[in-house]
Amino acid sequence: MLEFDTASSGTVRYVGIEEMCQLVRTVGVEAILSGLARYIREDYVRWNAFGKSIRLANHSRAGVIELMPICDDTLYSFKFVNGHPGNTGTGRQTVVAFGVLADVATGYPLLLSEMTLSTALRTAATSALAASAVARPGAASMALIGCGAQSEFQVLAFKSLLSIREIRAFDIDADATDKLFENLRGTMGLSLIKSASIHEAVRGANIVTTVTADRNNATILTPDMIEPGMHINAVGGDCPGKTELHPAVVGLARVVVQYEPQTRIEGEIQQMAPDFPVVELWRVLAGLERGRLRDDQITVFDSVGFALEDFSTLRYIRDLAEEQVTQRRIDLLPPMGIDPKNLYGLVMGPRAARSLGHP
């Protein structure tokens, strides 16, 4: 097998699931979530610097596979991500992902990273960032409807960024709820309460997070559950035909979205008229619009995930990997210094062996 001379090859920094887990353990989950929220905010407030588009989605009966690209004048990123709710039945993850960060000036990739774990982290960080700008100040309790793969990250993000201290959790799968409690047992400053129903969980909660996985138009929250001043963090409805809120709940609220053209197709507002008014998150974070107009207003963050958050996440992973001296690299590119007009010669020419590090 040929081996590249890494001193002269075009290697790319690689952060796999093992490296990402190590970074999270070393830095700490809550510190990672806070760092992600900071990077995401930085990029949202320079919204107009980005070339944006809705994600490219290929749907099947089993699920969806998507590509999520975005760039500014310096960096380009994309993420490959799926959503297959039936995967858990065969021991697979519902969502897996990887991403690339590249240099716009040359087109060369700078980083190839796992994004299964980091998507869960960035989704939670974005949820808490939005809530910090939209929810009522002083919120102390959150109802969590859905205790799957995203749940622990959501809890810790809201604890870290909003100082939420009480979590009332409900899932139709009791084992999932038990898993959440086991994973977060002993977390300082956090009170976990098992609720017997959605109604019980949301009663009196300042914030309600819905993060369910079923791929259908569900009605997790109905109008009779909604209380004045409540903020709803709607995370699970993220593709056409998949929602969590009764349309009347959406109609009651001031709705904040990430990227309106995408959310109209995939979010809770797919149920609403095309002219239903929404506010894009970047305008709130940039101070151009208020997230909440009055204390008793119902607010919804209609979260579907947007490529800008992946861009921010890949920037953060790159910087974090450099700080933590994560040195793993892969030979994704041809070696540096070869004749750019003689790619064939890299493989078959007389200097092929030397270009691959052989005498």
Give the residue numbers marked as catalytic.
238
Q: Which of 263, 251, 303, 313 is nearest to 70 (CA)?
A: 313
Fill in the amino acid letter for 315.
R
Q: 299, 292 in Cβ contact below 8 A? A: yes
* HEC secondary structure over 315-339: HHHHHHHHHCCCCCEEEEECCCCCC
Task: Say if strands 97-103 and 109-114 run parallel, antiparallel, or are unpaired.
Answer: antiparallel
Quickly count helices (H) and strands (E) in the chain. 12, 17
> In this structure, is the dihedral angle defined by the CA atoms of residues 310, 316, 319 and 324, taken in order, positive or negative?
negative
Q: Which residue has the tokens 């239903």?
A: 276
Structure tokens at 284: 């709130």
CA 129 to chain centre: 12
Please report, in angstroms and rounded to a whole number, the separation of the first and last CA atoms in the chain.
15
